[in-house]
């Protein structure tokens, strides 16, 4: 059989939210109206991860390799979202986690979130 290997996940972006389907059948989903924070995770040699979080600290991890223009366009609808800040964080050569956006009305504290 020829062709590319199956990706480990698929990401779907709609007007309602973002959903990531993993190869093992698990799913992460978050409605745009529930997003209170956007983080960027960078590690040398790894795909950049965008992490969207809700008030309970639950989230949806979106690899940059699985995004397209619709994902970035939809992020711009978040109040005062700065696409340049997102791009700067995602293009960083330093390993780390950067919060690039928080809701104007965030919860008092968000619990730590594990990501793969």
46-79 pLDDT, tens per residue? 999 999 999 998 999 999 998 888 999 999 999 9
Does the pLDDT of residue 7 top 90, yes or no? no
Q: Hey, which residues does 53 pair with through a beta bridge?
A: 37, 59
Q: Where do the DSSP E strands lie in 14-92?
A: 17-22, 27-31, 37-42, 49-53, 59-63
Which residue do the tokens 């995770």 mark?
41
Q: Hey, which residues does 38 pair with through a beta bridge?
A: 52, 101
Q: Coil, strand or helix: which one is 63?
A: strand
In angstroms, the CA 59 to CA 29 distance is: 7
Please, which pLDDT band fits residue 112 given cuts at 50, 70 and 90? low
Mean pLDDT of the chain: 87
pTM: predicted TM-score of the whole model, two decimal places: 0.83
Average pLDDT rounded to a whole number, residues 81-93: 95
């Amino acid at each position: 059989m020829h062709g590319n290997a199956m990706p480990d996940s698929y990401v779907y972006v709609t007007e309602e939210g973002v959903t990531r389907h993993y190869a093992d059948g698990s799913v992460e989903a978050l409605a745009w109206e529930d997003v209170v924070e956007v983080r960027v995770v960078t590690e040398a040699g790894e795909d950049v991860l965008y992490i969207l979080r809700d008030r309970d600290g639950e989230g949806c991890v979106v690899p940059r390799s699985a995004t397209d223009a619709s994902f970035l366009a939809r992020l711009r609808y978040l109040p005062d979202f700065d696409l340049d800040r997102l791009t700067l964080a995602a293009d960083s050569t330093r390993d780390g986690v950067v919060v690039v956006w928080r809701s104007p009305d965030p919860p008092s504290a968000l619990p730590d979130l594990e990501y793969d």
